[in-house]
A and B are shown apart, each in its own frame.
Chain A
Amino acid sequence: EVKLVQSGTEVKKPGESLRISCRASGYHFTNYWITWVRQMPGKGLEWMGRIDPSDSYTYYNPSFHGHVTISADKSISTSYLQWSSLKASDTAMYFCARRYGGTYYADHWGQGTLVTVSS
């Protein structure tokens, strides 16, 4: 069974750093890309970027480029989403999802990680 299990809820202060994770199981991790999606409170979905775990090539939505970093460790089948300096506007639910290379849909999703940034 394909599973994407994300790390737990985070509460941080503005300016702090953070890394959240997405651990994959049930399939060959390097055969699929991992996409990250943001959902701000009460709002819609936003595609942040994706990574190919086989070579760690990343591609970002220009709206997020430079503010977040997507990475992957294929030895433990895990992708990460990282911030070096959080803002209050980063408060959101973040989902990871699996996507086959060359396709543009996500067929399995993680349960989401809620990140709250507040002073």
Chain B
Amino acid sequence: QSALTQPASVSGSPGQSITISCTGTSSDVGGFPFVSWYQQHPGKAPKLLIYDVTHRPSGVSNRFSGSKSGNTASLTISGVQAEDEADYYCSSYTSNNFVSFGGGTKLTVL
């Protein structure tokens, strides 16, 4: 069982905005500004989308954005596209001094 809770699946039509939540506790998501988001296409390695809650690495589309409120972090994809269909994982530093991942969310583009 993952320490961070994500919805198993979300869906959206092309052009819509979708949000994926990642709920933890004050010992991880709520306690530190170290939430990251990764995208993983089938059979591929994860790709970093967001780090430190809101920061986007160079080369990542500005359609991807991150935020946090209390113990819940969120990834928003604006104007979802067919190529965004993938699994998405959040991760957070924890007070136990290691990193926890969420269980992953499968995004389906209708």
Contact = CB atoms under 8 A, between A and B. Distances in A.
Interface of A: 35, 37, 44-47, 49, 59-62, 95, 97, 103-107, 109-112
Contact of B93 (A61, A104, A111): A104
Given A47-B101, A103-B52, A105-B36, 19 more contacts: A37-B46, A44-B104, A45-B89, A47-B98, A47-B100, A59-B97, A61-B98, A62-B98, A95-B46, A104-B32, A104-B91, A104-B92, A104-B93, A104-B99, A106-B46, A106-B48, A109-B45, A109-B46, A109-B47
Contact of A47 (B40, B45, B57, B99): B99
A100 to B, nearest CB: 10
Contact of A112 (B45, B48, B57, B102): B45
Given A104-B93, A105-B91, A45 B101 contact: yes
A105 B89 contact: no
A45 B3 CA distance: 11
A116 to B, nearest CB: 15
B98 A45 contact: no
A103 to B, nearest CB: 7
